[in-house]
Structure 1
Amino acid sequence: MRVLSMLFLLLAPVVASAQGAATLVADRVELNGEDQLIASGNVEVLFDGNRLTASQITYDEPSDTLRILGPIVIQANDGTILTADSATLDPRLENGILQSARIVLDQQLQLAAYQIDQRDGRFSQLYKTTATSCRVCGTAPPLWDIRAERVVYDEQEQQIYFSNATLRVKGTPILWLPQMRLPDPDLERSTGLLVPEQRNTTQLGFGVKLPYFITLGDHRDLTITPYLSSETTTLELRYRQAFATGDITVEGAISDDTVVDGNRSYLFAEGTFYLGDSYQLIFDLETVSDKAYLVDYDYADKDRLDSAVQLLRVDDDTLYNARLTYYQTLLDDEDNASLPPIVADISYETSWEPTFGGILRYGTSFDLAYRTDDTDGDDGRDVSRIGADGSWSDSWVLPHGVLAEAQIGLRADVYVVDDDDDFADEDLRVAPTTGFTLRWPLARLGNNGTSHLLEPVVSLSWSDSYGATPPNEDSLRTELDWANLTAASRFAGEDRIETGAQAAAGLQWTRFGAGGVTSTVSFGRIIRQETQDGFTATSGLDGKNSDWLVAGQITAPGGFLIDARSLWDDDDGLTVADSRVAWQNDRVSLGANYVWLGPDADEDRTSTISEWEVDAAFDLNTTWTLEVDGRYDVAADEPISAGMGLEWQNECVTVTVSASRRFTSSSTVDATTTYGISGTIGSFDAGQTTGSTATGCGY
């Protein structure tokens, strides 16, 4: 019979110091004289969160030692597992010697040694050691391992120190290091060399990045990455710091290359701070030495840089926003001075529910667009605006399930314009608006479980503008879609307002299939009393009447999706079309986007755009993954970009090979092909996932 839950009386001094009890479970427990206890047969010792199993334990009171016969398994409370054939330890399992032992850290890295010395419950000193995170198959060498004469594992600092170490691949030595330090796989942050990255481009040649991570306390760190190739010498930096109320990130690089004379550089910084009372301070800084630097080094793909500082407060019924932005263009045909480069805006908005019903909303705002050029006209015009607006809205459910919505509003703005003789220096504009919308959702349930929802919608609205028409400094890239079909005005900002009476009508039909397939089809159009200026030709909103909106979507439980939208002009036919088709399951992900845009001088587009974009990912098996993507210009009959990545991963190694090509070029950016290869060794990379698929024995 086993003796269960028997107090290990001879460990009384240990129990007193540790504020806990050691429990012994064994098939047989006997006293040999007065100073020796022997437990044998399926022995288990539980102490202070640690668990030890063995075939026999002998406790000798005069020497205060445990002599243990294996197989021995010690499971620490932090998840570390230690196995051995035999051991001599103190009762706390903190000091002693283990023979033919093995340590498993975080269920990933295993360290096998001829002998392990335990010191102070913190240090484990291993002799004639082999370390690997790969599966070990009999006597065959693992995919990779590190052989070392001596290894010291510091449990408190979570560091592993190797002496006279050799890295081997399939048993073949490839790198020798007299001293080496690696982090415990459970350690999230540690100063040291990160995984190198190889990069090869047609502009910069073959190069290697060697990132080095430096911890600067618990809340700060710095990553320094030298990038060396035959065509460039680059130093990349990234600094991060967390505060009690926010965080900041700064990254940048400086380069001396053969592409451009002189040094090249960039700097991006961003941060968020919570100031109390729901206020947030948000900032970002973006600057670059030349227009092509970010693309040449694959740091970012941006047309314009925006540096901004913002003060934001959002709660249940109030919004306050103040933002100052500086823009820097990276386009060949655009000038910084006339963007405008400096834009400021401040706004306040609040709402409440009055006793007579509905919702009352009130807001004030100020914005400024400043150009550094003094030229009269669009290139030098400076515009500032201050305004206030208010509105009331309510909704009701009418008989037969008809939903009614009503809204009235009034806004007033004062504009100040400099450096443009086409507009008055100062002007006041007042704009009233009112609108009424009816929706009638009609539902039907079929006999086979399929349901249908048909929703016609009709909207009538009117607005007008009293005072001169100010310059439009807001975006012109608004397009008609189902979300803004019934809006009173569809301009992007406050500078322009749709005037006169207008009616919008639409119909949306949704089918919910019994098998989980959902399909939606939408139609809509806007009919106006007056011709509207300020919209682009392909927005679907220019002229007196809008284009026809036709949109649809199909989704299926198996991961299938079709989403499409198009705009049709009465005279010119199709003006805009965009769509996406996608399908995915556990092993395959496929997607394709298509966009067709007609010529539009207001959007700087002199010819038709017709482009395909495809992306796909395949899990070829448990270890191989393939990803491909590409863009093709159908109108010009030429490719825009293409890329491919191939990854092999098992429980201990990840290797990624990639190739990409950018076919387009300009006066500042050349067509470029980039090749890359990178790899990580399991257990020593922060991105390694515990429990990655094992390749098994034979690879």
Structure 2
Amino acid sequence: MLVLLRNRALAHPPLRIATMRPVRPLRTGLATLAAMLCVHLAAPGTARAQETGAASVVQQGATDQDAPALLVADRVYMDGPGRLIAEGNVEALRDGLRLRASRIVYDEENGTLSVEGPITITGSDAAGDNSAVVLADTAELDADFRNGLLSSARIMLGQQVQMAAQQMARVDGRYNQLYKTTVSSCHVCTDGSPPLWQIRAERVVHDEVGQQLHFEHATLQVYGVSVFYLPYLRLPDPTQERATGFLTPTIRRNSELGTGIKLPYYIAMGDDRDLLLTPYVSEVTTTLEFRYRQAFSNGALSVSGAVANDTLDDADMRGYLQLAGTFYLPQDFVLRFNIEAISDDSYLTDYGYSDEDRLKSEIIISRARRDEWMRAALVHYHTLRDSEDTATIPALIADLNYQKRLFPAAMGGELRLSAEAHEHYRYSTLDYDSDDSDDITDGRDVTRLNVSADWRRSFTLAGGLRVETLGGLAIDSFYTTQDELLPTSQTGVTPYTAVTLRWPVQKVSDSGSVTIIEPVAQIAWSGGSQLDIANDESTRTEFDEGNLLGLTRFASPDRREHGWRGAYGAMISQFHPSGWTGRLVVGQILQDTPDSSFNEASGLTGQFSNVLVAGQVTAPGGWSLSARGLFDNEFSVTKTSARASWLNDDAEFGATYVWLGPDQAVDRDQVISEWTIDGAYQVSPNWGVSADIRYDVAEDQPASAGLGVTWTNECVDVNLAVSRTYTSSSVVTPSTDFSFTIGLLGFSTGGSSSASSGSCRN
């Protein structure tokens, strides 16, 4: 055993004690250090009250179970047998605990420490963060800091939650018992004025290991006024990330469901799974919402839904269920699934869970590598639309896809091989159109197989002219059942080729701005002819900058373009050092024989297509604008959409406009013209507002609107939201929804806030 006495400021040479005596076994911790110092300083020839000057004491040779301990002070001396006194900037460290005080007196006989303040004790919490701070005026502790009594104690948890008590008892190094306690995460003024909110309790027990706060006879006060009493209350301390208990309740007012309250209860079932149960009770409904989550070493699973008993429907029970997950399998395969089910078509909109008009359930296994892609998918649709019946739409869909890229050295370029198998199934068994309204056979089922092989190669000629060549062959086979108007099987072979020319030029100005102009042109040909098959998949064709130079504009290989066609256009890009960027695309398609499957709204029905104009602009300060439109030969708009937005640290604003002309082929009898405006503004560090509205210009009435107001400071978060839907159908009723939530920040239920704190008079 070796004891070193060392000067903190190195103003004196270290005092070494060379004569060692056998010492009886003592307690570990600070008691060992103090006792060792007592024994050696009391050796013959040493004064009874010898001062060591500014000194520190370090225990060497601690056992594997005992961490080294350290005592640092301006003066350490003996005051009688077995009585050690440390004075002036005293610091004691043991097992991750650091105690600072003005004076410490150690009594070897009783094994106690008398500490005079101001006292500060810091220590690592269960998460390993030094976030717990204890302040006190005086303390009586045992040598290991595991038990003791502190007067006028205050604890700061997570640098936000404050607990003040007349007296605090420390028990077994785990529990801090506070008596006559006040707890708050709000700013506390020194003028004696009460904080925004505080909890007063006769007794509070802080479990450092369990990371929990237990309150006995607790009263919630707002600006010093008692508003709520609970004989017992448990809250997680700020260091707890996942704790079982109630979360912030929400008061909700809905014109259909009445006034109700949601009281979520969170259950931590382990590090890898949890359960959230949310009872929702109102004048009209008794609902239980649930969400179960579990993490695995190779993925995650989520099960959510709700079960309700209400007076909106004649059914005894209503509800919905959603099962979703992602799993990473061997050989780079990924499994994804999302399964949805509901009791009735109006349930989701009645409760505001979703505004989907079709439920999509799917299971997908895929693998993507640099030169290979494969996918298998099974999809089911359940329609919620008034105009559709699940039995007569392609409700069950199966897909198999495979693509392989090869780079043969002999011929250069890229050889791409593709194969796709598809089947869609209708539940109806009829082989004719029962209502004659849409010319679609009620029970038609289709199976198709598509294989293709093509070769691609690019060249750069003199002057920077870029040439891209493509040639290939596709074989398509279809098998159709339950349709009296179509043949059972059809097979076609489609050879195709295309040449694309690009000539990008660049200009750099003296100011540093860069302008790139890229004229493009393409000529393409596809052989074969359109098969006598149903058009179930490529019913919505879009013409945009993404397929201006595409070999086909159809969304699925159940349709292919045939004959000669060409495309031309230009892309202009601008980049300025100040942060301005812009891009403009203009293009048009020429067709020898336009495909009859193109709908009017696509802009592709004539030999000369509509002119495509699309552009994006971004500017310093968070401004951006994007727009796309199709214009006929008289430059009248046939389809357009635009989005403008502004985003900075305090505000975000966006406006979207959509205009679509009538098109019977896509079941659009009237013009669609809508504005959507949304935004949020941080009025002050505490106040924030948000709003959104969707306005139907064609009908001259709003479709939906919402308003939200938030007030947040360092200890509370208040949210008020009002929304209104105006849509009406057999399954959707116009409704108004109101919600109000208050969260007490600082605990795991609300977390901390970066908003400004309250101010004091002085």
Structure 2 equivalent of residue 366 of structure 1: 421
- The answer to whether the 8 A contact 1:18-1:48 is kept is no
Pair 1:567-2:630 in alignment: yes
Q: Give the residue type in structure 2 aligned to 1:64.
A: G
Structure 2 equivalent of residue 375 of structure 1: 430
* C-alpha displacement of 1:684: 2.5
Structure 1 residues 227-253: Cα deviation after superposition (integer angstroms, max 9, x where no partner): 111111111111112222222111111
- Structure 2: distance between partners of 1:365 and 1:451: 43
Which SS does the other structure have where 1:89 is aligned?
strand
* C-alpha displacement of 1:27: 2.2
* C-alpha displacement of 1:448: 2.0
- What are the within-5 Å matches in structure 2 for residues 499-514 of structure 1? 499-514=562-577
Larger mean CA deviation between 87-96 and 156-165 belongs to 87-96
Pair 1:151-2:204 in alignment: yes
Structure 1 residues 323-359: Cα deviation after superposition (integer angstroms, max 9, x where no partner): 1111100001101011111111111111121113211
Which of 58, 68, 80 is the equivalent residue of 1:21? 68
Q: Give the residue type in structure 2 aligned to 1:631.
A: R
Structure 1 residues 508-553: Cα deviation after superposition (integer angstroms, max 9, x where no partner): 1122223211122221001111122222211122332221001122
- Structure 1: distance between partners of 2:173 and 2:455: 71
Pair 1:98-2:150 in alignment: yes
- Structure 2: distance between partners of 1:391 and 1:91: 82
* C-alpha displacement of 1:2: 6.8
Pair 1:453-2:516 in alignment: yes
Pair 1:214-2:261 in alignment: no
- The answer to whether the 8 A contact 1:14-1:91 is kept is no
Structure 1 residues 254-308: Cα deviation after superposition (integer angstroms, max 9, x where no partner): 2222221122211111112222111122221111122211011011110100112
* C-alpha displacement of 1:34: 4.6
* C-alpha displacement of 1:13: 9.7
- Structure 2: distance between partners of 1:56 and 1:476: 85
Cα distance change, pair 687–167 in 1 and its aligned pair in 2 (3 A): closer
Which of 602, 605, 612 is the equivalent residue of 1:549? 612
Percent of aligned positions that are identical? 44
- The answer to whether the 8 A contact 1:195-1:685 is kept is no
Structure 1 equivalent of residue 213 of structure 2: 160
Larger mean CA deviation between 572-581 and 458-467 belongs to 458-467
Q: Give the residue type in structure 1 aligned to 2:591.
A: R
Which of 30, 39, 46 is the equivalent residue of 2:93? 46
Structure 2 equivalent of residue 277 of structure 1: 331
Structure 2 equivalent of residue 268 of structure 1: 322
- The answer to whether the 8 A contact 1:161-1:182 is kept is yes
- The answer to whether the 8 A contact 1:430-1:467 is kept is no
- Structure 2: distance between partners of 1:107 and 1:475: 59
Structure 2 equivalent of residue 643 of structure 1: 706
Larger mean CA deviation between 600-609 and 476-485 belongs to 476-485
- The answer to whether the 8 A contact 1:2-1:28 is kept is no
Which SS does the other structure have where 2:89 is aligned?
strand
Which of 691, 702, 706 is the equivalent residue of 1:628? 691
Q: Give the residue type in structure 1 aligned to 2:701.
A: E
* C-alpha displacement of 1:18: 4.8
Structure 2 equivalent of residue 324 of structure 1: 378
Structure 1 equivalent of residue 115 of structure 2: 68
Structure 1 equivalent of residue 34 of structure 2: 10
- Structure 1: distance between partners of 2:256 and 2:9: 73
Which SS does the other structure have where 2:739 is aligned?
strand
Larger mean CA deviation between 45-54 and 605-614 belongs to 45-54
- The answer to whether the 8 A contact 2:661-2:670 is kept is yes
* C-alpha displacement of 1:14: 11
Cα distance change, pair 19–408 in 1 and its aligned pair in 2 (3 A): farther
- What are the within-5 Å matches in structure 2 for residues 236-255 of structure 1? 236-255=289-308
- Structure 2: distance between partners of 1:386 and 1:229: 53
Number of residue pairs matched? 699
- Structure 2: distance between partners of 1:692 and 1:120: 38
Structure 1 equivalent of residue 506 of structure 2: 443
* C-alpha displacement of 1:46: 3.3
- Structure 2: distance between partners of 1:57 and 1:2: 18
- The answer to whether the 8 A contact 1:538-1:597 is kept is yes
Which SS does the other structure have where 2:604 is aligned?
coil
In the alignment, structure 2 segments of 5+ residues that lack a partner are 1-5, 16-29, 36-58, 433-439
- Structure 1: distance between partners of 2:147 and 2:532: 86
Pair 1:595-2:658 in alignment: yes
Q: Give the residue type in structure 2 aligned to 1:678.
A: T
Which SS does the other structure have where 2:559 is aligned?
coil
Cα distance change, pair 179–318 in 1 and its aligned pair in 2 (3 A): same
- Structure 2: distance between partners of 1:572 and 1:563: 19
Pair 1:111-2:111 in alignment: no
- What are the within-5 Å matches in structure 2 for residues 117-516 of structure 1? 117-138=169-190, 139-262=192-315, 263-356=317-410, 357-377=412-432, 378=440, 379-466=442-529, 468-516=531-579
Q: Give the residue type in structure 1 aligned to 2:332.
A: S
Pair 1:616-2:675 in alignment: no
- Structure 2: distance between partners of 1:667 and 1:220: 40
* C-alpha displacement of 1:572: 7.8
- The answer to whether the 8 A contact 1:427-1:467 is kept is no
- The answer to whether the 8 A contact 1:4-1:26 is kept is no
* C-alpha displacement of 1:594: 0.5
Q: Give the residue type in structure 1 aligned to 2:677.
A: V
Relative to the length of structure 2, the TM-score reads: 0.89
Structure 1 residues 54-105: Cα deviation after superposition (integer angstroms, max 9, x where no partner): 1112222222222211111112123211111111223332221111111111
Structure 1 residues 628-684: Cα deviation after superposition (integer angstroms, max 9, x where no partner): 000111111111111000000001100001111111211221111111101111123
Which SS does the other structure have where 1:3 is aligned?
coil
Q: Give the residue type in structure 2 aligned to 1:592.
A: A
Larger mean CA deviation between 617-626 and 95-104 belongs to 95-104
- The answer to whether the 8 A contact 1:428-1:467 is kept is no
- Structure 2: distance between partners of 1:574 and 1:387: 36
Which of structures 1 and 2 has the bigger CA Rg?
Answer: 2
- Structure 2: distance between partners of 1:508 and 1:572: 19
Q: Give the residue type in structure 2 aligned to 1:293.
A: Y
Which SS does the other structure have where 1:483 is aligned?
coil
In the alignment, structure 1 segments of 5+ residues that lack a partner are none
- Structure 1: distance between partners of 2:61 and 2:111: 10
- The answer to whether the 8 A contact 1:364-1:389 is kept is yes
- The answer to whether the 8 A contact 1:127-1:150 is kept is yes
Relative to the length of structure 1, the TM-score reads: 0.96
- Structure 2: distance between partners of 1:201 and 1:309: 35
* C-alpha displacement of 1:687: 4.5
Structure 1 residues 150-197: Cα deviation after superposition (integer angstroms, max 9, x where no partner): 111111111111111111111111111111111112211111111111
Larger mean CA deviation between 631-640 and 372-381 belongs to 372-381
Larger mean CA deviation between 43-52 and 657-666 belongs to 43-52
Cα distance change, pair 136–3 in 1 and its aligned pair in 2 (3 A): same
- Structure 2: distance between partners of 1:261 and 1:190: 39
- Structure 2: distance between partners of 1:110 and 1:261: 52
- The answer to whether the 8 A contact 1:2-1:25 is kept is no
Which of 669, 679, 694 is the equivalent residue of 2:757? 694
RMSD: 2.0
Q: Give the residue type in structure 1 aligned to 2:426.
A: R
